[in-house]
Each structure stands twice: as C-alpha cells, then as structure tokens.
C-alpha cells in the first residue's frame, strides 16, 4: 500500500484476529521517528519543514466496555511520556457527551465521565469536527439505527499554539461503517497567478 499511494515511510501494527490493525504512512522519511507502539496505538515524533518538533499518536480504543479503563490508562501513559506538543487522533470507541450519540440505546454515564476525566487529566483539547456530527453508524436507514461520534482528534495547549488554524473534517465513506476524518494543520494556500493573455488569429473565423 505504501508503494501504491506513493509514500516513502510507513509503520504498521498487524491486526489481532479479525479486528484492529494500525498503519501510519508519511511522505518524507526524515520527517517521522517512531517512539512507541502497541496493538492500540502508534506514537511518533514529527519534524516540520520549519524545524518544529511535535508528537502524533494514532489511537484505537478497546471496543469492549469492560476494557475501556485499559484504553484510558494507555492514553494517560502516552501523555506522560513526553513534553512535546502533542496531537492524538483515531477511533477512541468512546463518547464525551450525550449529543455524541443518536439512537435508542442510552450510553452509560460512567463511560461519559471516565473518558472526560481522562481527557482532562491528559490536558487535551478537542478539535471541532466540521461536517456531519457522527463518524460511525449501525443499521443506517432502519428504525433501530445508531450513530455515534467515535473518531476524534485532540491536542494539548502547546500543539494548539503551534497549529492555531488546524481543522478536522468529516469525510464521506461508501464501504465502511466509519467515516474517515481528515486533520489539516493549516488551511490550504490560495495562490493568485497573473496570466498573460494571448490572442489567436483563428478566433476571428468564429462567429
């Protein structure tokens, strides 16, 4: 896949059975350095063109409710490992607020509270999701449909200062029950070019 999409570097953690699996790809081999990894995360140091160093973590939270505390402890461990500006993005399999869920089955309050407490202890701020508010669905279009916002991105205050114009976009997926989310550290540059006008004599033949 790395060769197919034209990237220079990659690191992958194999899936466990039929679930999980994390892959990280980057364009220039000198921009990323692997720090730690597990079946649930990949943590790496990133160097920008302007020599700014920061940390990016791809995270996958345990989907089983009885293992959510393991996810929270892992996030706390990663947070304490470095003082670099830090961004963590991925499928957390957790919800922060009641509005993060649409469906008939209520979400337990202890899960809301545990995830919120973890985010606060890690000193993280959530990036606002632009677009459709939910990133995962089950039985869409049916009376028992459920939609949730499981995929998120957070940054600590140092990372937010480094990338004050960062955006998180919810994209469209046609074959997955998850929507891909796109993190942009800066808005796209708009280049205005002055073009020289050339007149073609053959245009005179056209009515």
Reported as a single tens digit per residue, the pLDDT across 13-25 is: 988 777 668 889 9
Q: What's the whole-model pTM score?
A: 0.84
In this prediction, residue 199 carries a pLDDT of 77
What band does 206 get if pLDDT is binned at 50, 70 and 90? confident
196: exposed, middle or buried (Cβ count in 10 Å: 0-12, 13-18, 19+): exposed
Phi, psi dihedral angles at 131 (to 5 degrees): 110, -155
What band does 142 get if pLDDT is binned at 50, 70 and 90? confident
In this prediction, residue 138 carries a pLDDT of 83
User: Between the CA of residue 156 and those of 83, 84, 108, what are the distances in Å?
Assistant: 10, 9, 27
Q: Which CATH class is domain 2-205?
A: alpha beta
167: exposed, middle or buried (Cβ count in 10 Å: 0-12, 13-18, 19+): middle
User: Between the CA of residue 6 and those of 1, 28, 46, 101, what are the distances in Å?
Assistant: 8, 10, 19, 37
Q: Supply the mean pLDDT for the chain.
A: 89
Higher pLDDT among residues 158 and 22, named by residue:
158
Q: Which residue has the tokens 């053959």?
A: 202
**pLDDT tens figures, 29-83:** 668 899 999 999 999 999 877 778 999 999 999 989 999 999 999 999 999 999 9
**pLDDT tens figures, 121-136:** 999 999 999 999 999 9
Per-residue HEC secondary structure of 172-204 comes to: CCCCCCECCEEEECCCCCCCCCCCCCCCCHHHH
What mean pLDDT do residues 143-170 have? 93
Angle at 109 between CA 104 and CA 110, to 5 degrees: 135
Residue 205 has pLDDT above 90, yes or no: no
In this prediction, residue 55 carries a pLDDT of 96
Give the residue extent of every domain in the chain: 2-205
Residue 176 has pLDDT above 80, yes or no: yes
């Amino acid at each position: 896949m790395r060769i197919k999409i034209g990237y220079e570097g990659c690191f992958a953690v194999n899936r466990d059975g039929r679930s999980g699996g994390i892959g990280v790809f980057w364009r220039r081999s000198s921009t990323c350095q692997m720090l730690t990894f597990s079946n649930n995360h990949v943590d790496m140091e990133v160097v920008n063109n302007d020599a700014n160093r920061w940390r990016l973590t791809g995270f996958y939270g345990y989907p089983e409710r009885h293992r959510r505390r393991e996810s929270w402890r892992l996030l706390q461990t990663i947070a304490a490992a470095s003082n670099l500006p830090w961004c963590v993005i991925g499928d957390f399999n957790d919800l922060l607020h009641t509005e993060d869920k649409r469906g008939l089955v209520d979400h337990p309050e202890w899960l809301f509270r545990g995830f919120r407490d973890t985010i606060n202890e890690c000193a993280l701020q959530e990036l606002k999701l632009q677009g459709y508010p939910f990133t995962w669905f089950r039985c869409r279009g049916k009376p028992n449909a459920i939609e949730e916002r499981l995929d998120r991105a957070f940054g600590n205050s140092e990372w937010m200062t480094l990338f004050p114009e960062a955006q998180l976009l919810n994209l469209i997926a046609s074959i997955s029950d998850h929507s891909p989310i796109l993190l942009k550290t800066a808005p796209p540059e708009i280049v205005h070019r002055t073009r020289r006008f050339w007149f073609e004599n053959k245009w005179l033949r056209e009515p």
